[in-house]
Amino acid sequence: MTTTKEQILDVASKLIHVRGFKNTSVDDILKETGVGKGNFYYHFKSKDELGYAILDRKISQITTEVIEKSFKSEKDPWVQIGDFLDAQVLRTRQNGCTGGCLLGNLAVELSDIHEEFRQRLDSAFRGLRARIESALTQAQAQGTLRPDADIMRLAHFIVAGFEGALMMGKLQKDPAVVAGIVEEVKSHLAQYRVA
């Protein structure tokens, strides 16, 4: 059974994912949920607090459903990175390019105007980059990544590549655009691979 708090989080997440944080009002959320204002403020002291809860829940979901499944140390590091990138394409196909990446959307929308959100989002992306860097470090230790490869730069490139792919897929409403960009990211990485 879904609690009132979970219902608010579910509805607000969907609205914010599509409309953005600033363009989603508490009244919009109340209207969609049928929850009264008193009930809303019982669970969340402010819209910002709701936003942080949505962000924390989404980060936890992505970590469990994508990052932990992709980046298993017993897997070949190239497979880890490939699995992660393929998960982005699959997600896009499943949602029909609607919404893009919630974290990426919030980063673009709020980083210049809301320091707390910026810090939380930066922390989430740093965590992801650390997992990618770990896979790249593993590849370098195994001798399958060129020794001159800048691991931190490559990790940033991978994140920027898939975030850009999700944005372009959202803009053009075409999962093939996302798949094509992800393949270009993989092709770029292949230039650093030692056979």
Q: Please, which pLDDT band fits residue 73 given cuts at 50, 70 and 90?
A: confident
- Average of per-residue pLDDT across 156-162: 97
Calculate what percentage of the chain has a pLDDT beyond 90: 95
Go through the domains of the chain in sequence order and give each one's CATH number.
1-45 (1.10.10.60), 58-190 (1.10.357.10)
Provide the pLDDT confidence category of residue 195 given band limits of 50, 70 and 90.
confident
- Residue 50 CA to residue 143 CA, distance in Å, equals 46
DSSP per-residue string spanning 13-47: HHHHHHH-STT--HHHHHHHH---HHHHHHH-SSH
SS3 state at 91: helix
Residue 171 has pLDDT above 80, yes or no: yes
Average pLDDT, the chain: 96
Pair 143, 194: CB distance under 8 Å: yes
Q: What is the mean pLDDT of residues 27-47?
A: 96
Which residues, other chains included, contact 154 with Cβ-Cβ below 8 Å and sequence gap of 6+? 132, 136, 189, 192
- pLDDT, tens digit (0-9, with 9 covering 90-100), for 103-120: 999 999 999 999 999 999
- Give the mean model confidence (pLDDT) for residues 142-153: 98
Q: Provide the pLDDT for residue 2.
A: 78
Confidence at 140, pLDDT banded by 50, 70, 90: very high
Q: Report whether pLDDT(1) > 80.
A: no
Mean pLDDT value across residues 92-101: 90
Taking alpha carbons only, the member of 32, 15, 33 closest to residue 24 is 15
